[in-house]
Amino acid sequence: MDESLRRTMLEQGKMARQAARFLATASTTLKNDALLAMAKALENETPAILEANQLDLELGRQQGLTSALLERLALNEARVKDMAQGLREIAALTDPVGEILGMWRRPNGLEIGRVRTPLGVVGIIYESRPNVTADAAGLCIKSGNAIILRGGEEALNSNRVIARAISAAAETAGLPQGAIALIDSDDKEAAVFLMQMNDFVDVLIPRGGLGLKKAVMENATVSYIMTGMGNCHVYVDQFADLAKARPIVFNAKVQRPSVCNAAETLLVHQAVASAFLPGMLADLTEAGVEIRGCERTRSIAPGINSATEQDWDQEYLELILAVKVVDGLEEAIDHINTHGTGHSEAIVSENYSHVRRFLAAVDAAAVYANASTRFTDGGVFGFGAEMGISTQKLHARGPMGLTELTTTKFIVYGDGQIR
């Protein structure tokens, strides 16, 4: 890595650490004022943001980015407006910092309490989606954290304009310089360096695909919360309302296939496969979905491609769907727990016992009964936005909102007690 970039990142780390100390005790009013100013700045800078985004899209096409990545990268006026609205929604949420989680008195007179506090400095490495720049910054500011952003090289121009706009607005509103920092480089070594900035970064949140996940696991010395990997399933049970199942499956796969909560595999109980699959697969094929089926699926719908063992583990992020006919609920649960990534899983069934069994036995951050997996989202869950969707179990799981960006500390009041 270039020495000047290394020095710049170390300086960003130092400034972020100082900013985090300020933010830890900043008033809710000040943080909200900054968020509202950031939202206004995004709207004012919309033309510049879209111009930068067009440059990223053109470069992406030249470099052969997939249609899924280009879709995730693309911004328009409505998406920029949504980014600004997301910041306003975060401002309207309850500030978690300082929340008292409990207070009790010990026999020796000590009063012990537990309160929410910020994590400190959050580093985030993310791919493609420039809206994450605004969402992540907004959530960190409201939860009292400084943030160091490292977006993907494919969105560098967009992220640069967005970060410049919101950081300047936050400073104008009274936040310190360094509260929002962007690593303005496409050098992959910069991402590795961020993973190892233990003196300045308290937690790292990687948000991307398998390659990023492997890089973090191999290189990070900073504590991290893994997010983003999605190999999601919809299971249509023998007791499913098939008229209800068709739009659920269609929405989970087609509505926005490039995101991590889109379905990648459809599991269908053998008792309803012949009645359900022909119409369902026709709907999906008409929408441009490539079907890859097991042998039993292909016997019902001749002409579709054959699924391989690799397909069951694949996060396509595009209009491809693996389809498997299963013998029953337990086989579906076992398949999901074997091949899923712990993101979002759904059952379609009118049988209460089957629904209860599925919800209890499937190991994932979000488990649905009779609804699309596409709902796993911080905004939809009422968090305003999200840092990512955690697929691990410590310390957060699922969409990461304000609460997930805090930790706790004990406060102890005494009156001269000694031990």
Same domain, 103 and 22: yes
Q: pTM for the complete prediction?
A: 0.92
Examine residue 387 and state whether it is found in any structural domain, yes or no.
no
What is the domain-level CATH number for residue 80? 3.40.605.10
Q: Are 220 and 238 found together in one domain?
A: no
| Claim to verify: residue 122 and residue 186 sit in the same structural domain | yes
| Residue 249 counted as domain residue | yes
Do 198 and 53 lie in one domain? The reply is yes
Q: Would 86 be classed as within a structural domain?
A: yes
Q: Are residues 32 and 110 part of one domain?
A: yes
Distances (CA, A) of 149 to 22, 167, 308: 19, 11, 38
Strand partners, 247: none
**Assigned domain for 25 exists:** yes
The DSSP output letter for 224 is: B
DSSP letter assigned to residue 397: -
**236 and 210 within one domain:** no
Are 192 and 255 members of one domain?
no
Based on the fold, state whether residues 220 and 242 are members of the same structural domain.
no
Q: Is residue 385 domain-resident?
A: no
305-306 and 290-293 strand pairing: parallel
Domain check: are 158 and 192 in the same one? yes
Question: How many other β-carbons are positioned within 10 Å of the β-carbon of residue 332?
Answer: 26
Q: Do 262 and 196 have their domain in common?
A: no
Q: What is the dihedral of CA 148, 152, 155, 157, to 10 degrees?
A: 60
419 occurs within a structural domain: no
CA–CA dist 42, 277 (Å, integer): 45
| CB neighbour list of residue 197: distance below 8 Å, 6 or more residues apart | 9, 10, 13, 123, 148, 222
pLDDT tens, the chain, 419 aa long: 899 999 999 999 999 999 999 999 999 999 999 999 999 999 999 999 999 999 999 999 999 998 878 998 999 999 999 999 999 999 999 999 999 999 999 999 999 999 999 999 999 999 889 999 999 999 999 999 999 999 999 999 999 999 999 999 999 999 999 999 999 999 999 999 999 999 999 999 999 888 898 999 999 999 999 987 899 999 999 999 999 999 999 999 999 998 999 999 999 999 999 999 999 999 999 999 999 999 999 999 999 999 999 999 999 999 999 999 999 999 999 999 999 999 999 999 999 999 999 999 999 999 999 999 999 998 899 888 889 999 988 889 999 999 999 999 999 999 999 99
Q: Total domain count for the chain?
A: 2
Same domain, 266 and 286: yes
Is the residue at 110 inside a domain? yes
Regarding whether 239 and 179 lie in a shared domain, the answer is no
* Domain that residue 112 falls in: 3-225+400-413
Residue 391 maps to a domain: no
For the domain that residue 259 is a member of, what is the CATH number? 3.40.309.10
